[in-house]
Amino acid sequence: MDLKAKLDMYIKSEKPANTVQKRTGPDIHEIMDGTVLSNCDGSFFLLEDIYPDRYIHGGYPLGKVYEIKYNTLCKVFDGMEESFDIREFLFLDTETTGLSGGTGTVAFLVGVGFYKEDTFVLRQFLMRDYDEEPAMLRELNDLMKGYKYLVTFNGKAFDWNLLQTRFTFNRIKMNMKSPIHLDLLYPSRRIWKLKLESCRLTSLEENVLEEYRVDDIPGALIPGIYFKYLEDRNATEIKKVMTHNKLDIISMVSLLAKINSLLEKPFAESDGQHELLGVGRIFETGGRNSEVRECYESCMKSGNSLVSSLAYKRLVSICKRNRDYSKLAEYCEQMLSYGLTNRIPILIELAKYYEHRAKDMIRAIETVEAAISECTKIGLGSSLYRSELKIRHDRLKRKIASHI
Amino acid sequence: MNLEQVLEYFKTSEKIRKNISNWVEMPPREAVYADFPDFLDERIKQALGRRGINRLYSHQAEAIQKINEGKDIVVVTPTASGKTMCYNIPVLDAILKNEESRAIFLFPTKALSQDQTSELHELITEAGVDVKTFTYDGDTPQSARKAIRQAGHIVVTNPDMLHSGILPHHTKWTKLFENLKYIVIDEIHHYRGVFGSHLANVLRRLERICEFYGSRPQFICCSATIANPAELAGKITGRKIELIDNNGSPSGEKHFIFYNPPLVNKELGIRKSSMLEAKNLAETLIRNNVQTIVFTRSRLNVEVLVTYLKEIFHNSMGKESSVRGYRGGYLPNQRREIEKGLRKGEITGVVSTNALELGIDIGNLEACIICGYPGTIASTWQQAGRAGRRSGISAAIFIANSSPLDQYIVSNPDYFFGSSPENGLVNPDNLTILYNHMKCAAFELPFEDGEKFGVETTQEILSYMEDAKLIRHVGNRWHWSSESFPSDEMSLRSASNENFIIIDITEPQHRVIGECDRFAAPMLLHEEAIYIHEGQQYQVEKLDFDDKKAYIRKVNVDYYTDANLAVDLRVIDVFRENDTGTVLKGCGEVTVQALVTMFKKIKLHTHENIGSGPVRLPEMEIQTTSYWVGIPETLTNGMSQTEIQNALLGLSNIMANVAPMYLMCDPGDIHVVYQVKSTFTQRPTLFIYDSYPGGVGFSDKLYELHKELFETAEGMIDSCTCESGCPSCVGPLNEFSGNGNPKELTKKLVGYILRNG
């Protein structure tokens, strides 16, 4: 019995397809402008696009990024230096043969973008087969030499990690050893988590930047497209992958500008609701106290009940932290005046304030009674609230009696 | 009474003495010392000196010497002979001489890795050197992993983690792989069968990666006493291995006692419960403050015996709390506390499963009771080694139960005390296992044209893999070309990912209690089958064949079930064959088709057939390896068809018990079938085949052990006291038809085979 027959017998899960794909369409250089570049390690395909910095994407010209400031961004990105030059920034995105990482996953397409004079230059490095990887990485490494900052979207967990693996694997010493890495995913999540179901780049692009892609390739299909291209050398779909990669990079530029604007002028730039709340949270962790309150107070007034009540909760906790109880009562009263949400917990918070801080038992008991009647009104007569309120009410009655 | 007096009492008490079938007194052994080798770093010598160690035992010195010469070694010495020093010292020495040096320590279990490294930590602390040792396994927090990858000198891990957590991410471990000097494999005899065959391939992958980074590590292996330690270590590591077995450690006087509980039913060969006997003997020892460990075969038995003993000592001051149980399922803290209690002598009696058999430090106890044969001689010695001090006397008592294997051991001390007949076997070239690891290897590093991965046919297999669209050949290399992450798709421990899961649905909270390989599932898990797990009966309520799940519920019935299996075995390839003209032996590849058609309900004790039912499940087919023996018809000329059948059945039953003794496997790891006239050999033939597809090396070894197998079978029949057959020898009588004496028929057949090849 020959080996092939035995393998057929033992390896039941994998049935070889035995059909050798013949070339079915044009290769990459026939349908795209780029060039086949060669160096000492071999060759690969390189595509360059140059955009003027007044080119508009996502509502901003690409040159908007010139305005980003250390003071604005240092709160969301670790390690930034006070004085920097935008020409030291390298925007990077990869397309890979799998999402699970490990040494068997390859970045077959690496796209980078950078500013040069008054343009934004976008270069895409494509390996047309596995043996072109060393040449491609060599060239990429030469380019990376001059850059100090790296901008990615989820690059910390994925792209940069994978690229480092590829360099080690090919024993090329990376010129960009430990860049200052601005991963846009993390601030994006904090700002838009509440507003959007998904904080993936394509979702942000549509909902925040209001850019809509036509005939785009879903990321999950990309590895399969590459494997198919290796077989049949038909680059029609690969062309779409390259467009996809290009758009990812340009969107990262707009997104960085957007994040900077939001943090710099939250009231003017945000929707005044979800986004503002997200910005408030960033300020809160950054310790920018006065701005935090302003954001949250504005959110409370927003008229959106979810945003409003979340902002109220943040404000209450800030007041408690600062022992600023009269302000706390003010927020409660204000919240009640909007009449938006479940009033009972707010009334309880207020009753606590009157009882323990203001020591005004009469107003306390009035507030509790208001809460009790609210319970009855909305059909929570026998709820936990009700029993908690009952205890509070009884205690207040005793306290009042003992004072008379 | 002290232990000596208790032993004297055992010898003289009529009640106990009559059950003792064998009593071996092993005299104390003097230590054989050797000086520290000259090349050893001063700091290590001084650190050892401060702990009172000024020279080495002979085997330690030889191990260190051989390692220094660049050899790959396996050290085989008994429990408590200081074997960890055989690897701790050279590894530490290498790191002290070159700070960049790295080592990997592989242990089969997590508990063991923790314990074995504590000794290393002590030595490092004592020497006052900066050598970083880290455990890297599934429990290692993400935050700590980066530091370990960068800075760990010694990475302590297990084969599973190496397979799925380290090798596929080797670029993150460049420091380790560039400087890897030693790979330590402790308890290498654990890596047998499927697990060992997997490990051999994991190490093939490791070697490729080391070569990529320019290192060539040496192997330091340790094994319990088995028949073929160097062969096993050689197959697993792919290196030529030097054996070191000149044990120089001292030991005190030791008594090894075989205890056979009295017969209660002679025809059925049923004896008094070994558990009750263990209870009585343990009681005597503990009552006299002799620190004792009792090993039982199951977790359930641990609890039962602990309960008995606690009841007995309920009224004795403080004694009750000095008896404890120990098994898997206890919380780590609780286990640490019990281990400490044993070391400090606060606990006088502990009842344990084989969880305490491995090198976990519990100090050295005085007495050990082994309740039921642990399955292998190697395990028995490891358990017995828990009692025994470097000076002073100790005792180990083996209590047999009624099973054929226990009865064989208890009545054949030569088998036990002679040189080990047990072989650790692996088959690194098992096609299924090899192929799956080649996928992982291709993922880790592209294969080069002409590269060999263990087998000559590497390039052909790669072509096959390319046809399956997993890899792509370009520029003289084969690149991984798939989205999948191959090492995640396979486990090193379970035989295949096609196992059936067994779910207990007695309680509202369902729980998985076991697994069963695909091939055996129709036999053991058909609906209405009685499934026995840890001594508890369950009935199978539903078998979901497509989802590979069996749902079972606890029952208490007086019968067991036996499925009728129609087996069709065909030989498809012959590896080796020897035809003496009369008896033919061979081994090779076979296809086995098995169909379960019906099952019988058989009453316990009386073995009456009390009912039956149909089974409607698809036919199972596996390809595997087999050993076979064909008997010429000249012998069977005078025998009736029924007599031939009975003799072959008796032989099958006895071989199902004999073969595992040599292969160190579970009875379920092999299957035995006979054919009255095989279409392949054209004569009555017995086949013993591997349960695992492709085989894990059993059949080849059986072919070599042919003669010993039949000698042991003959011995087993001769030493059995029954009249014409019983479960301890050729099988229960109700399995046979006709009037002949199955025992005599089987003996005749065995005798003929022995005398004719």
DSSP string, B294-327: EE-SSHHHHHHHHHHHHHHTTTSTTTGGGEEEE-
Do A329 and A376 reside in the same domain of the chain?
no
Count structural domains, chain A: 3
CA distance B535 to B523: 19
Say if residue A255 is in the same domain as residue A293: no
Q: Is B570 on the interface with A (CB under 8 A)?
A: no
Q: Could you give the count of Cα atoms lying within 13 Å of B119 in the half-sphere of its Cβ?
A: 17
> Is A9 part of any domain?
no
- CB atoms < 10 A from the CB of A285, how many? 11
User: How far is the C-alpha of A7 from the C-alpha of B435, rounded, in Å?
Assistant: 9
Q: Which two tokens stand for residue A220?
A: 């999950």
- DSSP state string for B134-155: EE-STTS-HHHHHHHHHH-SEE
Q: Cα(A61)–Cα(A55) distance, rounded to whole angstroms? A: 5
Q: Is B140 exposed, middle or buried (0-12, 13-18, 19+ CB in 10 A)?
A: middle
Q: Which of B168, B481, B572 sits opposite A103 (nearest CB)?
A: B168
Residues 610-629 of chain B whose Cβ lies under 8 A from any Cβ of chain A: 623
pLDDT at A380 over 90: no
Percent of chain A whose predicted confidence (pLDDT) is above 70: 96
Contact yes or no for B72/B242 (Cβ under 8 A): yes
* Token representation of residue B195: 């697990």
Q: Among A150-159, A346-355, A372-381, B639-648, name the one with the lowest average pLDDT.
A: A372-381
Residues of chain B predicted below pLDDT 50: none
What integer is the mean pLDDT of A142-164?
95
pLDDT at B150: 85
Backbone φ and ψ for B644, nearest 5 degrees, come out as -60, -45
Residues A172 and A258 in one domain: yes
Check whether residue A85 and residue A198 sit in a common domain: yes
Number of H helices and number of E strands within chain A? 17, 9
At a CB cut-off of 8 Å and minimum separation 6, what does B596 contact? B522, B523, B526, B563, B564, B565, B566, B615, B617
Structure tokens at B560: 């067991």
Residue B642: which region, alpha, beta or left (left: phi > 0; alpha: psi -120 to 50)? alpha
Highest averaged pLDDT of the listed ranges A128-132, A359-363, B82-86: A128-132
Residue B375 burial (CB < 10 Å; 0-12/13-18/19+)? middle
pLDDT of residue B607: 65
Q: Are A336 and A354 found together in one domain? A: no
Question: How far is the C-alpha of B540 from the C-alpha of B530, rounded, in Å?
Answer: 6
* Chain A to chain B Cβ contacts (< 8 Å): 97
Q: What is the ipTM of this complex?
A: 0.85
The pLDDT score that the predictor gives to residue A14 is 65
Select the residue from B469, B497, B519 to test the A interface by mutation, using most A Cβ atoms within 10 A.
B469
User: How far apart (Å, rounded) are the C-alpha atoms in residues B502 and B520?
Assistant: 13
Q: Are residues A72 and A140 in the same domain?
A: yes
Q: Decide: residue B259, CB within 10 A, 0-12 exposed, 13-18 middle, 19+ buried.
A: buried
Task: Mutate one of A11, A12, A132 to test the B interface: name it (highest B CB count within 10 A).
Answer: A11
Q: What pLDDT is attached to residue A17?
A: 60
User: Can you identify the CATH homologous superfamily of domain B33-244?
Assistant: P-loop containing nucleotide triphosphate hydrolases (3.40.50.300)
* pLDDT class of A104 with cuts at 50, 70, 90: very high
Residues A213 and A316 in one domain: no
Reduce the DSSP state of residue A278 to 3 states and report it.
Answer: helix
Radius of gyration of chain A (CA): 29
Note whether A121 and A179 are same-domain residues.
yes
Out of B168, B474, B483, the one facing A129 most closely (by C-beta) is: B474
Question: Which residue from B minimizes the CA distance to A221?
Answer: B483
pLDDT of residue A18: 53
CA distances from B261 to B36, B52, B194, B265 (A): 49, 45, 36, 12
pLDDT for B496 equals: 58
Asked if B241 contacts B230 with a C-beta cutoff of 8 angstroms, the reply is yes
Residues in chain B closer than 8 A to A103 (CB atoms) = 168-171, 443-445
Residue ranges of the alpha helices (H) in A179-288? 185-192, 201-204, 222-232, 236-264, 266-269, 274-286
- Helix (H) or strand (E) segment spanning residue A126: strand A119-126
**CB within 8 A of A1, min separation 6: which ones?**
B572, B573, B589
Predicted local distance difference test score (pLDDT) of residue B687: 97
DSSP E strands: which ranges in B485-583?
500-504, 511-516, 530-533, 536-544, 549-554, 559-579
The distance between the two most distant Cα atoms of chain B, rounded to a whole number of Å, is 82
**Residue that terminates a domain, selected from A240, A264, A288:** A264
> Which of chain B's residues have a Cβ under 8 Å away from the Cβ of A99?
483
* pTM for this entry: 0.86
Last residue of a domain, one of A340, A367, A395: A340
Angle in degrees, CA B246, B183, B55, rounded to 5? 40
Contact B654, B603 (CB under 8 A): no
Neighbour order of strands in the sheet with B447-448? B447-448, B477-480, B471-474
Alpha-carbon span B36 to B46, nearest angstrom = 11
Average pLDDT score over chain B: 89
- Mark residue B496 as left, alpha or beta (left: phi above 0; alpha: psi -120 to 50; beta: remaining): beta
Return the structure tokens found at B657: 């018990």
Mean pLDDT of A5-33: 76
**∠ Cα B437 B440 B445 (to 5°):** 125
In whole angstroms, what is the distance from residue B598 CA to residue B225 CA?
Answer: 44
Q: Supply the pLDDT for residue B42.
A: 94
CATH code at B3-27+251-417: 3.40.50.300
Q: Is A344 helix (H, G, I), strand (E, B) or coil?
A: helix
By the CB < 8 Å criterion, does B474 face chain A?
A: yes
The last residue of a domain, from among A231, A264, A297: A264
Q: Which residue in chain B has the smallest CA separation from A20?
A: B467
Concatenate the DSSP letters of all residues of B148-188 into one string.
Answer: HHHH-SEEEE-HHHIIIIIGGGGGGGHHHHHSEEEEEE-SG
**Chain A interface includes B213 (CB < 8 A):** no
pLDDT at B521: 85
Give CA–CA dist A186/B682, Å, rounded: 74
CATH of the domain at A98: 3.30.420.10
Residue A265: half-sphere exposure toward Cβ, Cα within 13 Å: 7
Token pair belonging to B235: 């197959």
Out of A17, A104, A230, the one facing B443 most closely (by C-beta) is A104
| Residue A126 located in a structural domain | yes
Are A145 and A40 part of one and the same domain?
yes
| Per-residue model confidence (pLDDT) at position A144 | 96
Domain that holds residue A275: 267-340
Q: Are residues A239 and A178 in the same domain?
A: yes
Do A257 and A312 lie in one domain? The reply is no
Instruction: Examine residue A7 and state whether it is found in any structural domain, yes or no.
Output: no
Query: Could you tell me which of B272, B373, B261, B407 has the C-alpha nearest to residue B729?
Result: B407
One domain for residues A313 and A393: no
Cα–Cα distance for residue pair A317/A310, rounded to 1 Å? 11
pLDDT of residue A175: 93
Per-position DSSP letters for A310-332, written without gaps between them: HHHHHHHHHHHHHT-HHHHHHHH
Cα-based distances in Å from B495 to A159, B663, B695, B697: 36, 17, 11, 14
Any chain A CB within 8 A of the CB of B694?
A: yes
